[in-house]
Structure 1
Amino acid sequence: MKQILRASLVMFMCLTVITGVLYPLLVTGIGNSLFPAQVAGSLIKKQGVVIGSALIGQDFHSPHYFWGRPSATSPYPNNAAASAGSNLGPLNPALADAVVARYQQYQTADSAPQSVPVELLTASASGLDPDISPAAALYQVARVAAARHMDSAQLKTLIANNTIPRQFGVLGEPRLNVLGLNLALDEMASRQK
Structure 2
Amino acid sequence: MTDSRHTPDSDDALTRHFRQHSTGEPPASLDAFILATARREAPAPKLSLWQRWGRACRQPRWQMAFATVAGVALMLGVVMRTNELDPGPQGRLAAPATFSAPAPMSAPPQAESYSAPLRSDALPQGKFAKRAAPQSLEQGLLEVVRLRAAGDEAAATAKLAELKQRFPSQNIEEQLKALPPR
- TM interval, shorter chain, is under 0.3
* TM-score calculated relative to the size of structure 2: 0.27
* TM-score calculated relative to the size of structure 1: 0.25
- Write 1 or 2 for the structure with the bigger share of helix: 2
